[in-house]
Every structure is written in structure tokens, then in C-alpha cells.
Structure 1
Amino acid sequence: MSERERSGRGAFLDARSLIGCRHRLHLTATYPRVLSGVAEDAGVQQRRDAAVAHREHVRDTLVAVQPEQWVVIDPAQPAAVRAEATMQACSEGALHIWGAVLPQEPDTGRRGGSEILLRDRMRGGYIPVIVVNHKVTDARQPDPADHHPLTSDLYQWNPQPDRHVRTRTQPRDQQRLAHLYRMLQRHGLASPALVGGAIGLAFDRILIHDLTGLLDDYDRRYADRIAVIRGELPTVPSKVPECRQCPWWSRSGTPDELSCERWLTEHHDVSLVAPGSRAELLRRHDVETVEDLAGWSGEAPDDWQYEPFAEAVVTARAWISGAPLVRRVERLQVRRADVEVDVDLESYQEYGAYLWGTLLDGVYRPFVTWDPVPTQDEGRSFAEFWTWLMARRTEAAATGKTFAAYCYSRNAEDKWMYESARRFAGMPGVPTEQQVREFVDGPEWVDMFQVVSEQFICPNGKGLKKVAPVAGFAWRDAEAGGEASMSWYRLAVGYDDGEIDLTQRTRLLEYNEDDVRATQALREWMVPSAPGGRSAEAEVPSMADFREPDHPRRTIGT
């Protein structure tokens, strides 16, 4: 019997597999031994460890307040033992069960557990409440005209409209709660209320999810996924955002014949230039390869709802020619100023921003705290950064000079400026949220990612580490990247009572410095401040060069 045939027998599916790539699910189920020796992505492991720590903190806090109302299932026991203990606690009418595991279902293939099962005292049955290590709500100013989500107090189930938060869409949470509801329903333990709850990273309330409209979608999704792992439905690779951290993409230890990157490249699959849902739509129009898309003539598909379709066709033609960038416009534009500051921050997951790096007149200045985040010292480093930046802005205005600050993909910088203003409000030098808003919404805060997106087509991606090398910039550290920096940071601050590694602090500072210098190099390449240097307008082909399928093959630098 083949490994594939063995893997399909007795296959079980938990809720984590309901969201994400179907082909990854197929490979993992069909070749379970292949990845046994492959190192897990460091970022994935760190997030898993952080989630475990968060759940333990939530458990210890909740149980300590009302220990007599809780049954805590021993996590060290085998799953079958934990399931038996959970069912026993339910049969005895326990009010709160932590670490619940529901019996596996050999016929349906379902397996799963809930951090919390709450007894529905009014209707009977149990309500699943999951504890997750991501945000489930965002703060907002109360507005009577808005739709208000239902939330409950952490210690007493009492769902009420909450005017102070808005829901963050988290399909994975909703699918997991629907999965748990079906498992509870099988044993007659599901509350008729048809709701579930989620405690997020903030650990300040329970967000209530109405499951009524979710179950049909869940049932369809579950039927598809269980058929995939049982080998009843075929799958093929397709490029999606998940590929960036997937061991089946291309990683040491993964056989070439199972590498999705190799398969897609060999087949010139259309998802290489139109990833995700774009590729799914194109395949419905018989566009399977990059060449199919490059050769498209006539009107765009009626159901195309993305960028202008002509740009998708040009992207395919550029990929075939090997051009990493294509100009959308004849004349490139970047806001330039007399005083130019480049900014890049480093944060550790959702815990805090520990480093604000700046570049002015060729001099790199970091504003940093090496106290493990979250820490009050973040407020000090952020205040110093903000005070320094605003001082340069004020000085420029006082001397009649223009000012601009640049970042690459402002979402992170904006988020942590607002977060820091809220968390450290009142500390010396910390701005108000309104002061942050006035700056980031003004013309002096320039997002180079947006500038690149508006003026270039990028067949290989728009990330700074994809685009800046085209401008001639190179990072000193070959491993430089957001995920790698998470590992460096843990060593740099001695997380988990480890020994502090000062070399990793140097590594982080150099990585941050290279990021701000890359942003400067990209800006200077797009709109040179002095004649005679490299120029993107001279080097990068325009869309006009790719109007026809038999476009001339032009390469950057020729």
C-alpha cells in the first residue's frame, strides 16, 4: 500500500485546515513523512510559542478569579483521555471547562477542541469560546449610527452591543467556531443560542460571533477539505500569499518533485503573475499559463474586478521577457524636499515597536529600547523619535525649506505611531493621536510603496527587497527580512530568560539602517537629485514597450 493510500484512511481534519491552500493540505496529508526533517519557519514557530504563552496567561487569570467554577482539563494527557474528561465534565454540568477536547469522529473526520466551553445557563448546552493570539476588535470612537458588535464581560457571560469597538474580520475564527458547534451538536451539547466567542490579544472582552449564517458555508468548505485529504478531489499548486512561509514552496529538505515553486515555474502557471483569486478567475476563462495571459486580445473578462486588465497582460509579457519592472507612466514623480528623512520601524509581533530608524543627510540615527516589549521604555524611545522628527520639520519651516519624511508601506509605521500615542499618552514628548493623524494624513509623509505601486508594474512583487535591488541597492545581511528579524530580536533581548546576544542587536540595527538607505536609494533612482547618475526612466521599459505579444525583449540596465 502506498503512502498516499495509507494517509487517506482514517484521515482527520481540524479547523485550522479550513482556511488556506488546498494543495498544501493535500501534500501534507499525502506525504506526511516528507517534512519530518524539514525545519519549521522560525516566524511560524515564534507565533506558535507566543500563542501558547497567551493562552496560558488567559487561563491562569480567568481560573484564579473563580476557581470553583472551572474544570481544567490536563493538557499533558493524551487526546482521548482529555476528550473523555471533557465529556464527563459536560455530563456533570460544569459551568466553565478549560482545554476542552471533543471526541474524534471517524465517520466525518472531524477533530478539535476549544480553549473554553461555557455552560449556557438559560438555554442549556455549551458555547465554544476560543482564545487567539491576534486582534479580534479595534478601538473606535462611539457613534450611535454605527452597527455595534456584541461583546461580553470576561467573567460573566452577558452579550451586549459594544459601542467602543469594531469587529476585525477573522474568517479562521468563524470557521473554527462553526467546526466546534457541529462537534458539540453531534453530542447534543450545542447551545441553541447558535453563537461562539473569541478572546483576542487584548484580553479585554469576549467578541460574540453569530454562527447562524456561517454554518452552510462551513459545511461546504468542510466537505471539500475532507475530500482533499482523503484523495477524493485532485489539487494542483497555485501561488497565494501563504506560499511565502510554506515548506512545500521551496525549502531545503523538500523533494524537487513536490516543490510548488518548481512545478509552477516549469508549467509557467498563470498564478506566478496573477496570484490568488486572480488566477482562479483567469482559469475559468481558459487562461492557464503566463503565455495564455500574455497573448490575450480583446476586451477584459466581464468578471475581472482587479487592476486594469491591460496591466495584468503587460505583467505577463514582462515576466516572459525577464523585466522586473515596467513603467506605468512616461515621467516618474516622487515628492522631493530640501530636508528628507527616511523612516523605518521594527516591531516584535503585536507586543510593541522597539526601534525607530531614521536617515538624514546620510547619517543613520536609531531610537531604540532593548527592554523586552511590551515595556514602558517604548514610550521613551518613541517620544525621542517623534521629538527629533518634528524638530527637523520645524527647523526646515523656520528656514524656508521644504520637508518630507519617507517610509516603505506606511501601514506598520502608522499603526505603531497611533498605538504608541494611545499607550503612552501623557508621557513627555509623546504626541496625541490628533497630532499623529495631522502628520500622517499630510503631504509631508510619503509612502514609497504607494509611489512604486502607482508608477510601476512589478511582475516579481512590490516589496522593498524586490524593488530596491533593481535600483542597485543590496542589503549587507543575506538573511535580512521581517521573519528573520523576529529571531534576532529574541536573542538580542534575552527572551525566555535567555542570555542576551549583543551581536544580534548590531545585526538588527544594520538591517534597519539598510532598509532606510534602500528607501533613499529607490527615491534617488526614480527622480535623481543630480544629473549623471542611474535613472529609472532610462532603464525601465514602459507599458508601450509591451503593447503587443511580440514585444521587444528589454532588460534593466541595457
Structure 2
Amino acid sequence: MHPEDLVGCRHRGVLRRAINLNSPTRMRTAYDLEQTVERLSHRISSRARKQEVLASLPKAPRRGDKLIPTRVDIERGDHAVEDTLEAMAAGTRLIVGATLEHGPMAATVDLLVRRDAGFGADPGLAYAPVLISAHSVARAAKKTQRADCLAVPLSGLSLSQGVSVPYRHRAIAKEGQQLAMAHVILEQWGFAAPEVGLIGHVANQQEQCYFFPGAPLRTGLLTALSEPTPTAPSRVRECAVCEFHNHCRAQLLESLDVSLMLPGDRNRAVRERGINTLPELAAEKDSEQSALAEAWMNGEVARRRPLKRWITDTELWGGHEFHMPAHGQMPMVEELRDVVDLDVDMEAHPQRGTFLWGTFDGSSYVGFGDFSAHGDEGAHVAEFWAWLQARRASADAHGRRLRVWVYAAQGENYWLRTYAQRFGGREYTLDDGRVVLMPRKEEVDALIESDAWCDLFRLVKKALAGTGSLGLKSVAPLAGFTFSQEGVDGKAAVDLFEQAIGLDSRGRLAARRTLERYNADDCVATSHVRAWLRAGAPGINGL
């Protein structure tokens, strides 16, 4: 049993074991060329990143180090487990590509890092499994007692125990199970250190390895191992990229399985009540879920909740108290005359940071981008901030209320704070000679926590009950908006950005224009959805 067998769809493992995957007649999902290229691109970039990290591992002791780094790279194959054990028995300090097995469990990790301070085959040998992650691996702990990380620079791996830092680890499900299983196997072998580790991104920090206690991971592993093996498919997030997608979906549609609307763990409570299909759920007719089951079968994206539950939310009306209009009139027309609505959307690259902040004021789109080869260290963010503050000052001068609208603001909040923490107070001279200033974190916090910074997604969730996603791409068409850039999403935007800073001049320009149109669409779509909500979200059925 491997860690991936415990994460996501358990039925996939059953199907893989049930058929010969080498058969030319095996079931396949109909991947299109774009999906295939995206998957290959992700694998290539992930492999390149791992090679970059492995090249940064210590080759010699640093000044003051008493330990000497030694390294063994394990080759895949029938002898990988035996080779790993031999490297550990020899006291190797860094074991790359280690393969571990014990009983029914097997796991491969990017690194085994020796954590004890012994030399050679010391009786106190202790190894920590480490993964190289493409995700954020730690964040600032909200409370000191919640911090659990020891940070070690890559140049000091296996040479230093690390220093305690005020961060708490973050591991996605697959990484957590992989580290848990490797930690348990090492315990069974008698070589386990108390910690496990992740190498990845942390805001405002150079890349390091973050070690944290391995024992708490056992709970999730034991829970996953206790789950019964499924005998039928159930929809989960991974379905879209699974080789059995078409095979399983045909079964789910035939039975109208409840997971079509409630994927993953969202259907657990329903199934525990003995309800496994959407018709059974719709037949209850006494809950929001039952109404949504009926809506799903009718092909509806969402239904409107009762107006009294959301239409009076003052944020929707620029801070004004809501009152009902006369029959046949639009609501709050006079009150909204003193409200200045701006719509903002941001695009970011996971390693580079933001590369485009777009704004829409009801009539025109303005973008602030960084498409330079090596990055402008936040100049585009400072320019966006200066533009925003000028609009705020203008609204104040005319006695009007500025409201800046973002759809699901977590990303924008994170990156504004990140740039403020890194470059707060820094001056930038733009190409036109203007000087702009990066805000400090307290200035950014003041905006985000003020009435002027509005998250439209919060209001959408309050107003609508969805049969699936309530993301902007799903909701905006209900408001009558049509996106101009078909097939472009967050992942595609990252790929387009890499083209926009690439070597092909024609490709650069085309990619940049596509990104700007995509970003403009999201800004204008946010404006449409807000206006639609203010009109009472017409055109869809109520619950």
C-alpha cells in the first residue's frame, strides 16, 4: 500500500488492481491536447525544481560544522529498498530518493535526512523523511504555542538541528500521508527521528527545510487506513484527471449518485442517512439540499435564497441602510449616487508573485503589470496602490464613499500584505518619471479591514445556494456576462505568464494580451454580478 492509495479516490486503486493497465484495451479518459501539455509541463517544472533543491544540498561542512555531509542517491528498481537500508546502516547523512517498505506499507521520499549528531554507523541513527513541495509549507502561527517548526537552510541539511521559528507547518493531504507512512516505517526499522520535513515556499522567507513533529501525522494515517475499500465510484476532485473518469461517470449518471452534486466528504452525512442518489435527496423536500438536488437534475447552477436573508446587507449598498423601493423602481438609486465602485482582480505566479493587478471603474479597465524577465520587485504593486489611493482621495474630496470590490479576496489580501512586508516604504521611479511608494503593512491592513474593501464572494454565498461551484466563472453568466477568453483559468494564466516573459517575441505579446483580456473580464464580471445582486438576482429560481 502506497500513500497515494489513501488520498482522494480509493476506488481508482481498486480499478487499477482489477485490470491489466498494460493492456491496449484499458480504459482511458479523453484527455485533450491542452490537458496533456499542462500535465507534462507540471511534471517538467516539478522535476526541475527538485533538481535545483538537490543541487543546493551541502557538499562540504560550513565554517564551524563538526559534521561532514555524505550523500547517496538511490536508483529506482528492485533493489531500491535494500540500497536505502545499506545507506542508512552506513550512517549516510543525506539519502536522495529513498524507498521504504514494511509489511503492506511502502513509501518513497525525496530525502532522508540524518538528524542525530553521530558519526558513521552510530547506534543512535535517526532519520527524518523530507519532501520537496510545490506548495506553501508553513505560515506564521497565530499563537506562539501553535508554532511547531524548526528551520534549517538547505546548505545546513543534516549538519544542523535548526532553529525554532514562529511558524506552523502546512502539508497537503498526499504529502501528509506520505510523510506519515515513511515516519511509521522508519519507526518499525528503528531509525526514526522525531521529526519529518518539508522544503517549499513560505512568505517572505528564503527556501529552507521546515521540520515538525511526525507523531501527530499518525492520526490521519490511521483514519485513512480504517476507511473501508469502496465497491462503487463516488465523485471526488481528482475525477477530472483520472484515467477511469468516463467509466465511473457513466455509472454515476446512470444512478444519479449524490456525489455528482456533493463530491468528496460533502456527501458523508447524507449517505449516513441512507441516501445515495439525487432523486432520494430531492424527495425529502424539507431542506435546502433537497431543493438543490432537484435543481441539479434540472441543470440549474444555483438557486436564490430568500431576499430578506441578504438583500438588506449594508455592504451591498455602500454602507447605506436598505429600504424597499416603490413598485417597479430600482432599489437604492439615490443612496448609490454617493458610492464609487471599483472592481479589482489580481493574477499571480506561485514562484514569481503577482504579475498583473487589474481595475475597472464602471467604464474603463486599467491594468498594472510586471512582464519583465526577472521581476520589478513590486513596482507594479506600488503603482496600483498609488492609483487606488488617488481614487480614494478623489472620492473623499467629493464627499463620496469608495468601495473596492474583489471576488474571493484571500489572494489579493495575501499578496498585498506580502509585498508590504517585503518592500514597505520603498520608493520606485516609473518609466514616465513618477515616483510611487510601496505601502507599509499597517496601511494595507487598514484598507483590508475597512468598509472600503469588499469581498463580493461573501455576498454571493449569502444570496445563492449552488449546485456546484459559486466561483466567478459560474455565477457571472447568471448575471448575463459572457467571458471572452474561453478555456483560460488560474492554471492557464500561470502558463501564459511564463510565455509572456519567454524568448519568443510574438508569443510574448500574444500571451500578455490574452492575460490582460482575461483579467479585464474578471474585473468587469465582478461589476456585473454586483449589479445583478442589487437588482435582486433575477432570472433564477428561488429555493
**TM-score band, normalised by the shorter chain?**
0.7 to 0.9
1:390-429 alignment runs, 5 A limit: 390-428=389-427, 429=437
- For 2:512, the aligned partner's letter is R
Matched residues in 1 for 2:241 and 2:417: separation?
Answer: 29
Matched residues in 2 for 1:540 and 1:242: separation?
Answer: 30
1:319-338 alignment runs, 5 A limit: 319-330=296-307, 332=311, 334-336=316-318, 338=339
* TM-score (normalised: structure 1): 0.79
Q: Which of 21, 30, 34 is matched with 2:9 structurally?
A: 21
Which digits, 9 at most, give the CA deviation of each residue in 1:165-195, with x for residues without a partner? 2333544333212221343345x3522x443
1:65 positional shift? 5.1
Deviates more, 1:434-443 or 1:39-48: 39-48
- For the Cα contact (< 8 Å) 1:151–1:207, is it kept in 2? yes
1:36 positional shift? 9.2
- For 1:54, the aligned partner's letter is R
Distance 1:217 1:360, change over 3 A: closer
1:439 positional shift? 0.9
- For the Cα contact (< 8 Å) 2:476–2:529, is it kept in 1? yes
4+ runs of 1 displaced by more than 6 Å? none
Which digits, 9 at most, give the CA deviation of each residue in 1:505-537, with x for residues without a partner? 111111111111111111122225xxxxxx624
- Residue in 2 aligned with 1:301? none
Deviates more, 1:319-328 or 1:459-468: 319-328
- Residue in 1 aligned with 2:493? 485
- For the Cα contact (< 8 Å) 1:326–1:541, is it kept in 2? yes
- Residue in 1 aligned with 2:45? 50
1:279 positional shift? 0.9
- Residue in 2 aligned with 1:367? 368
- For 1:502, the aligned partner's letter is L
Matched residues in 1 for 2:133 and 2:349: separation?
Answer: 17
Distance 1:116 1:480, change over 3 A: same
Matched residues in 1 for 2:225 and 2:377: separation?
Answer: 44
Is 1:117 the counterpart of 2:104? The answer is: no
Distance 1:448 1:29, change over 3 A: farther
Q: Which of 438, 445, 460 is matched with 1:452 structurally?
A: 460
1:392 positional shift? 0.5
1:169-248 alignment runs, 5 A limit: 170-185=172-187, 188-191=189-192, 193-202=193-202, 204-215=207-218, 217-219=220-222, 221-222=224-225, 233-246=229-242, 248=244
Matched residues in 2 for 1:113 and 1:94: separation?
Answer: 16
Structure 2 unaligned spans of 5+: 63-67, 119-123, 319-335, 428-436
SS in 2 for 1:132: strand
* TM-score (normalised: structure 2): 0.81
Distance 1:208 1:467, change over 3 A: same
- For the Cα contact (< 8 Å) 2:408–2:458, is it kept in 1? yes
Distance 1:175 1:263, change over 3 A: same
1:64-103 alignment runs, 5 A limit: 64=59, 66=61, 69-73=69-73, 77-80=75-78, 82-102=80-100
Distance 1:219 1:457, change over 3 A: closer
- Residue in 2 aligned with 1:520? 527
Distance 1:41 1:408, change over 3 A: farther
- Residue in 2 aligned with 1:149? 148
Matched residues in 1 for 2:36 and 2:276: separation?
Answer: 30
- For 1:426, the aligned partner's letter is G
- Equivalent residue pairs, number: 486
Distance 1:171 1:36, change over 3 A: closer
Matched residues in 2 for 1:37 and 1:465: separation?
Answer: 23
Matched residues in 1 for 2:95 and 2:273: separation?
Answer: 51
- For 1:56, the aligned partner's letter is Q
Distance 1:447 1:509, change over 3 A: same
SS in 2 for 1:63: coil
Q: Percent identity between the aligned chains? A: 28
- For the Cα contact (< 8 Å) 2:114–2:125, is it kept in 1? no
Deviates more, 1:92-101 or 1:408-417: 92-101
Matched residues in 1 for 2:475 and 2:211: separation?
Answer: 42
Distance 1:34 1:494, change over 3 A: farther
Q: Which of 306, 309, 314 is matched with 2:291 structurally?
A: 314
Distance 1:414 1:315, change over 3 A: same
Matched residues in 1 for 2:42 and 2:422: separation?
Answer: 23
- For 2:534, the aligned partner's letter is V
Is 1:339 the counterpart of 2:330? The answer is: no
1:83 positional shift? 4.4
SS in 2 for 1:62: coil
1:237-386 alignment runs, 5 A limit: 237-246=233-242, 248-249=244-245, 256=246, 258-260=247-249, 262-296=250-284, 310-330=287-307, 332=311, 334-336=316-318, 338-372=339-373, 375-386=374-385
1:293 positional shift? 1.3
Matched residues in 2 for 1:515 and 1:37: separation?
Answer: 29
Deviates more, 1:354-363 or 1:115-124: 115-124
